[in-house]
Amino acid sequence: MRIDAYITEYARITPQNIALEEGKNSISYGCLDEDINILASPLVVFEHCRFAILAESGIQYIKILMAVYRSANIAIPLPIEFPKFSLELILDANNVNNIIATDTQYFRFGESFFERFGTVIIVDNDNSLNILRRKLESETNKPKLRLVIYTSGTTGTPKGVMLSDKNLVANAKSIIEVLGITPKDKAALVISMHHAFGNSIIDSHIMAGGSIRIGSMNFMDSVFNLVESEVSIFYGVPSTYRILLKYPDRFKKAFANVRMAASAGGGMDWKIITDIWGLTPNIDILPMYGQTEATARLAYLPAEDVDEFIDTIGKAIPGVELDVFDSEYRSVEPKITGELVARGDNILLGYLDDEISTKERVIDGWLHTGDLAQKLPNGYIKLLGRKDDLIKIGDHRVNPREIERHIEENNKVSKVFVVPISHELLGTAISLMVIPTKGTEINTLFTFCRKSMPGYLCPREILLIDSLPLSENGKISNRSIIEEYKHVKASM
Amino acid sequence: MEQIKNCIIDYLKANSFMDKDTKFGDNDSLTQSGIIDSIGLLELVDYISEKYSIEIPEDMLTPENFDSLQGITNMIFKLAK
């Protein structure tokens, strides 16, 4: 079953129930279903074609997404927080002929951005469609492909994760079970809808016939007002909670009637947990773990075990099997470190137009997560860093080597090293150590980073160094960089 | 007023996706145009509090006060009085 079919079903059973709320607007299941039909009607002539979606988070975005589903096409939501040239890189790497954009984004990105597309459809706020041009072209796509979600964070070309209807429905079902989501629940969705976490909130609450209150983390007063509008489940990445906890009095008042604070996207630290419990002792805290490659979720830590097992990711969600493999792909005993692997109906079809990466990540049906892990005797799983050098910055998974290359290629520098450092709100932010060359200017580097990378990647400091000792195997590693950074800071 | 506005524009040009040649109206939305994100806004709040020695209560962290150059300028003008 497709996700949008659940909207049709609830439009039949409970047409008056509110599906989505945003600011002063709200829309019932009945009206949402009708609006999706209107938007889908000009798309049905396309047969399983790729449609980029360029829309800000909001009711309009969900309508467009569901319309692409309903017309049996393939939705490719573009992560709009990325600079324009990053989106152009994504589009260069993948063949996408059609785009649907809100008028806001059309004016923001400008006409020239849309020249590459054969079909351009603009959606107004009042749901009216403006088909600027239309070009029907047949495409060869994986038959089950329904949605492409981009992994967040990278400065190079983000990978497009291909998901099927089965992936989306299976993961939403597991999430509904773990959180006990009912039609009475109202979700607070204040994170980006264009990535896996936000998308899973939409799918699971729609499948449960509940409602979703949409907002953003931009304006604190608005966020707290949103939570106070009878929200029962709040979702955030750890930095979302860190930001909200800066305002403890308001947090206490706003979250008094929230039954569950769920998290994903990064590990919840003990300070966040105790701060939340200190203000709202009765709230259930539910840390979850996942990857875009698994549609969204893979594991969760039951609320009753948060106290004792916060340093683990808990256990697999229903319908998912987790294991830890050695380098020969054999399951290892508890307390032995290996790579965390996962199997289930939520595992990706593959990466868009990238067979090689797909074969590296999905082996014999097991998704290789790249996370190093150990099984505990009680079956819970503890993470022990990454197999590769990827790091979490502001709850986004990023490749530091890619950032380094991006800065080196566009600036007068000899070498750049990304150092993960702790940050009050982001959890982890980055600093740079730079081996200068003639003409290296720290201010120019700062400006470059601010203008050409997402905000969370902007370095907190830039230190000039003479050289970096290589690690034992002659390679640059996060460990050798962090050690050198400590050394440099100590001698300052 | 004009001085406050120019100061905010300078800050945004240095610390956000706003470029030197970005054409930007006084009432245009900073968040919808992608000039600033949630972390950027928190940093802007810190910058304004320090620069103008004012305390901005959280119930003033609203789109009316922070999503446009005019809103920010009016808010600082009011609080700094």
Share of chain A above pLDDT 70, in %: 97
Q: Is the pLDDT of residue B60 over 90?
A: yes
Confidence at A395, pLDDT banded by 50, 70, 90: confident
Residue A23 contacts B, CB cutoff 8 Å: no
Q: Is the pLDDT of residue A83 over 90?
A: no
pLDDT at A51: 98
pLDDT tens digits for A229-265? 999 999 999 999 999 999 999 999 999 999 999 999 8
pLDDT at A447: 87
pLDDT at A17: 98
Say if the Cβ atoms of B32 and A56 lie within 8 Å.
Answer: yes
Which long-range CB contacts under 8 A does A378-383 form with residues at least 24 apart? A379/A315, A380/A301, A380/A305, A380/A309, A380/A312, A380/A313, A380/A314, A380/A315, A381/A299, A381/A312, A381/A313, A381/A314, A381/A315, A381/A322, A381/A324, A381/A340, A382/A311, A382/A312, A382/A313, A383/A267, A383/A289, A383/A312, A383/A313, A383/A340
Please tell me what DSSP assigns to residue B81: -
Fold of A1-387: Rossmann fold (3.40.50)
Domain layout of chain A by residue ranges: 1-387, 391-490
Angstrom distance (rounded) from CA A53 to CA A61: 8
Identify which has the larger pLDDT, A364 or A447.
A364
Helix, strand or coil for residue A481? helix
Angstrom distance (rounded) from CA A6 to CA A8: 5
Share of chain A above pLDDT 90, in %: 78
Residue A423 contacts B, CB cutoff 8 Å: no
Query: Nearest-CA residue of chain A relative to B43?
Result: A425
Mean pLDDT of chain B: 88
Residue A222 contacts B, CB cutoff 8 Å: yes
Do the domains at A1-387 and A391-490 have one common CATH topology? no
pLDDT at A90: 87
Say if the Cβ atoms of A426 and B58 lie within 8 Å.
Answer: no
> A59 phi and psi, to 5 degrees?
-55, -40
- The structural domains of chain B, ordered by start, are 2-80 (1.10.1200.10)
Q: Is the pLDDT of residue A14 over 90?
A: yes
List, as one string, the DSSP characters of A60-81.
Answer: HHHHHHHHHHHTT-EEEE--TT
| ipTM of this predicted structure | 0.85
pLDDT at A470: 64
List of chain B residues whose C-beta atoms are within 8 Å of the C-beta of residue A218: 31, 37-38, 41, 63, 66-67
**Highest CATH level, class, for A391-490:** alpha beta
Mean pLDDT of chain A: 93
Q: Is the pLDDT of residue B72 over 90?
A: yes
Confidence at B38, pLDDT banded by 50, 70, 90: confident
Say if the Cβ atoms of A104 and B31 lie within 8 Å.
Answer: no
Q: Name the pTM for this structure.
A: 0.91
Query: Which residue has tokens 């597309």?
Result: A117
pLDDT tens digits for A325-341? 999 999 999 999 999 99
Q: Chain A, 278-337: which have a CB under 8 Å from a chain B CB?
A: none
Residue A134 contacts B, CB cutoff 8 Å: no
Angstrom distance (rounded) from CA A45 to CA A62: 21
Structure tokens at A466: 């003479």
Q: Is the pLDDT of residue A472 over 70?
A: no
